[in-house]
Amino acid sequence: MITIYSDDHRAHHAAREMQGGVAVPAVEKPARLDSILARIGEVGLGPVRPPDGLGLDPVRRVHTAPYLAFLEQGHTLWSEQFGDIDAAPFSWPARGLRGIEPKSIEGRLGYYAGDVSTPITGGTWRAATAAADVAATGACLIADGARSAFALCRPPGHHASADVFNGYCYLNNAAIAAQVLCDRGAGRVAVLDIDYHHGNGTQDIFYRRGDVLFVSLHADPAVEYPFFLGHADEVGEGAGAGATLNLPMPLGTGYAVYGPALDRGLDAIDRFAPDAMVVSFGADTYDGDPISAFRLTGDDFSRLGQRIGRIARPVLVVMEGGYAVDALGRNTVNFLAALEGAQT
């Protein structure tokens, strides 16, 4: 399987994030991709190539212009006031307040942010736009006839909506890829999100559309981030009614519960009969993940890949979360190799 990768991800290296009320070292860090690249080389998964340099057009199809302007300038404006440290919000347009965009950078951070653990650093724009380019390039390879490809993206994307950054995500790489597939002629695209966390950004972007099916397996949002989206009764609206399927599962879920849920998701995708599929892949469902509470093993990732590979559709895999860095390469490549091996 071909991997698309850009070294520019290294430009984004947040110092800290908030966990349990204190600032701790950020778990979403460059070493994650080193682990995956090393394992790709070890097992000889396939070639690794850079993205095509497709620019911002694919990004603009998914994100709003004011949001992109904010993301691009945000850290520069912040630095003029606070120096070269990571920018983070502290105040939000909560219930009872007016949701109009403030003028100051502190206010605008709260306006566009969904949480306090997704810092905007001096290199965030460069890394996030490179990741979007990686995903868009992967989608082009699928549109041109590849059966599978791996977009090795960082920072991840599935929590980012058209105009909100959160959950370590700034630009929604998977949504950008799905839109590229639509724009390159796919009439129907399915997004299967198997990161531990619900893909709230992707769901929101496609919620009213019938041409993109969104299926997500994740920890129950009643007890896990992102908390405010991802319940089973969210099924889409308008033209998108019936084109969202959420399969939330309890903390502690292992393969005995996860496997059958995946089959339900794959059945829905089969019925939708998409021309192509985007898999938002997170390895944070792993037993040893430091911020998550599912119990999948290294072998389970091979099983997931095998089940998904059997669906007989072209598949672009887009990297999302996974924070047990030492096991991340093995788990991810187990998934990819099994997926490719099961494809017809």
Active site residues: 159
Chain residues 258-297 in contact with ligand SP5, contact rule CB under 6 A: 282, 284, 291
> Is 74 or 230 the residue whose CB approaches Zn ion more closely?
230
- List 156, 248, 265, 305, residue binding ligand SP5 (CB under 6 A): 156
Q: Which amino acid is at 119?
A: P
Residue 22's CB is within 10 A of a number of other CB atoms, namely 7
- 81-120 positions binding ligand SP5, by CB under 6 A: 117
User: What is the total count of residues that contact ligand SP5 (CB under 6 A)?
Assistant: 15
User: DSSP labels for 217-236?
Assistant: EEE-TTTSTT-SS--TT---
What are the tokens at 92? Answer: 């939000």
Instruction: Name beta bridge partners: 17.
Output: 24
Q: Nearest distance from residue 231's CB to ligand SP5, in Å?
A: 18
Cβ 159 to Zn ion shortest distance, Å: 8
Q: Which of Zn ion, ligand SP5, none does residue 168 bind to, with CB < 5 to 8 Å depending on kind?
A: ligand SP5
Angstrom CA distances, 27 to 11, 90, 220, stand at 15, 20, 21
E-state strands within 76-166: 148-151
CB of 11 to Zn ion, least distance (A): 21
Q: Is 167 in the site for ligand SP5 (CB under 6 A)?
A: yes
Question: Measured between alpha carbons, how far is 248 from 222 in angstroms, rounded to an integer?
Answer: 9
CA atoms within 13 A on the CB side of 96: 0
Which residue, 282 or 314, is less far from Zn ion as judged by CB? 282
Q: Which does 225 bind (CB under 5 to 8 A by kind): ligand SP5, Zn ion, none?
A: ligand SP5
Nearest to 151 by CA among 139, 160, 163, 143: 139
| Residue 342 binding: pick among ligand SP5, Zn ion, none (C-beta 5-8 Å cut-off by kind) | none
Give the span between the Cα atoms of 31 and 168, in whole angstroms: 15
Query: Does residue 70 belong to the site contacting ligand SP5 (CB under 6 A)?
Result: no
Binding mask 214-243 for ligand SP5 (x = CB under 6 A): -----------x------------------
Q: SS3 of 149, please? A: strand
Q: Where does this chain bind ligand SP5 (CB under 6 A)?
A: 19, 117, 156, 159, 167-169, 195, 197, 225, 282, 284, 291, 320-321
